Amino acid sequence: MPYDLESRLVVGVASSAVFDLRESDEVFRREGEERYRKYQEDNLDVPLAKGIAFSFVRRLLSLNDLSADPKNDPLVEVILLSRNDPDTGMRVMKSIAHHGLPMTRAIFMQGTAPYAYIPALSISLFLSGSATDVRAAIEADFPAGQVLDSAIVDDEKDTGLRIAFDFDGVLADDESESVMQKTKDLGKFHEHEVKNMMQPHGPGPLQKFLVRIAHIQSAEEAKRKTDDSYKNRLRVSLVTARNAPSHERALNTLKSWGVMPNDAFFLGGIEKKRVLEVLKPHIFFDDQSGQLAGAATVVPSVHIPFGITNAKRAD
């Protein structure tokens, strides 16, 4: 019987998201493919160091212990999607095993971006360090984010997983952001949102990912009902530049999807870095490069190059 992916949270990761590839990438750029192959062969048994999204991936996979049969019926599946060929990719697989990540499935495509396989594998989030691959995936309407060179949050004594999202252009579409960009008038933005308060936004790139995350939160709640000693590990936060009165449409939209974050920060122009430095999420998703410049100095940050703001940057 085929292994079912539809009922799980499936995340696709490039090795550049999970491991620190700076040294090997420098060899490739400086000395070419053949020397890169030799370098990977010579260092086959030298584990790659942890990268920006390593803590997020490890903690996400740890939630599989909520399943009655974690090995055969996990809640979370993480699949490696690599531009390496199978031979040079062996070091990545050995590094995955060395660090104890329960990842067994992988796609290797020599020199070709593998994001085309996102729908086939029911992936609701693809993480990569490549801006080019991520932008191409987003343009193909796939859920993707570029892992930025940013701070790492990984306290080994803390077993929780904290995930933080911006709203517009990440969880929701860019309808409202388009109003703001076109009018340059905050008053008109709020007027538009109040007028459409009960009309849910269309889904953004990571809406499906959030819905899948909510399923795991439900599994935690079920666990807590049968085990009084269990403490929830997964915490979801909304960190947005919206404020009243536009906050209400955002919350109504989330409710229409059957989800609700544990925390919501409606900052109305306050720098997000200030909140994130206290919140300390293990990963933060935003579509705005300006916000991410500060966020990346304090937490692992991911750019979602979606919507009108990023289209203008690309031009």
179 with 138, same domain: the answer is no
168 with 122, same domain: the answer is no
Asked whether residue 151 is domain-assigned, the answer is no
Residue 86 phi, psi dihedral angles, 5° rounding: -60, -30
Distant-in-sequence, close-in-space partners of 130: CB < 8 Å, separation ≥ 6: 14, 16, 83, 113, 146
Asked whether residue 3 is domain-assigned, the answer is no
Asked whether residue 279 is domain-assigned, the answer is yes
Gyration radius of the chain over CA positions: 20
Asked whether residue 2 is domain-assigned, the answer is no
How far is the C-alpha of 68 from the C-alpha of 64, rounded, in Å?
Answer: 9
166 with 299, same domain: the answer is yes
130 with 182, same domain: the answer is no
**CA dist 20 to 49, 53, 129, 225, Å?**
5, 10, 10, 40
The range of the structural domain enclosing residue 248 comes to 161-314
How far is the C-alpha of 164 from the C-alpha of 206, rounded, in Å?
Answer: 12
In contact, 196 and 225? CB cutoff 8 Å:
no
- What pLDDT is stored for residue 312 in this prediction? 58
Q: Give the pLDDT means over successive 10-residue stretches in the chain (315 positions).
A: 91 97 90 89 94 98 95 96 92 96 95 93 97 97 98 93 98 90 83 90 98 96 94 97 95 97 96 98 96 97 94 60
Asked whether residue 82 is domain-assigned, the answer is yes
**Would you give the DSSP letter of residue 33?**
H
How far is the C-alpha of 65 from the C-alpha of 255, rounded, in Å?
Answer: 28
CATH number at residue 47: 3.40.50.1000
Asked whether residue 92 is domain-assigned, the answer is yes
98 with 191, same domain: the answer is no
Helix axes 175-183, 186-195, angle to 10 degrees: 150
Question: DSSP letters of 56-82?
Answer: HHHHHHHGGGGSSSTTTS-SEEEEEEE
**SS3 category, 303:** strand
- What pLDDT is stored for residue 314 in this prediction? 55
Q: Strands 234-240 and 263-266, how do they pair?
A: parallel
How far is the C-alpha of 6 from the C-alpha of 195, rounded, in Å?
Answer: 37
Distant-in-sequence, close-in-space partners of 218: CB < 8 Å, separation ≥ 6: none
283 with 218, same domain: the answer is yes
Joined tokens for residue 212: 């899948």
80 with 210, same domain: the answer is no
How far is the C-alpha of 206 from the C-alpha of 204, rounded, in Å?
Answer: 6
171 with 301, same domain: the answer is yes
In contact, 273 and 297? CB cutoff 8 Å:
yes
pTM: 0.95
Q: Is 154 left (phi over 0), alpha (psi -120 to 50) or beta?
A: beta
101 with 221, same domain: the answer is no
| Total number of domains constituting the chain | 2
Asked whether residue 93 is domain-assigned, the answer is yes
Question: DSSP letters of 169-235?
Answer: TTTB-SHHHHHHHHH--HHHHHHHHHHTTTSPPPB-TTHHHHHHHHHHHHHHHHHHHH-TT----EE
- Indicate the residue among 146, 172, 192 that finishes a domain: 146
Chain CA centroid to CA 276, Å: 16
93 with 176, same domain: the answer is no
